[in-house]
Amino acid sequence: MVKIKVRACLRCKAYVVVKEGYKNQQAIKIFEKDHTGHNMGTLDYNEVKDKASGYESKTNFYMDKA
């Protein structure tokens, strides 16, 4: 089973799913830039997918920006 990873801002409780490819790399770069100075971490998707976790996906938002 493949574990899906996300790049997350622990302060804002937002994340971008880590995928293959250049566009996703760019999306994560912009995401990290927007959260400069915040605590960032790489988490398992399982840790953030439920609403109860308090995390919100910004994947589409940043993929559109990339």
The residues of the shown chain that bind Zn ion, judged by CB under 5 A, are 9, 11-12, 35, 38
**Which one, 1 or 48, has the nearer CB to Zn ion?**
48
String of b and e for 23-38 (b: at least 16 CB within 10 Å)? ebeebbeebeeebeee
Q: State which residue, 8 or 63, has the beta carbon closest to Zn ion.
A: 8
- Provide the minimum distance between the beta carbon of 57 and Zn ion in the complex, in angstroms, as a whole number: 14
Closest distance to Zn ion from the beta carbon of 12 (Å) = 3
For 22, the token pair is: 């250049």
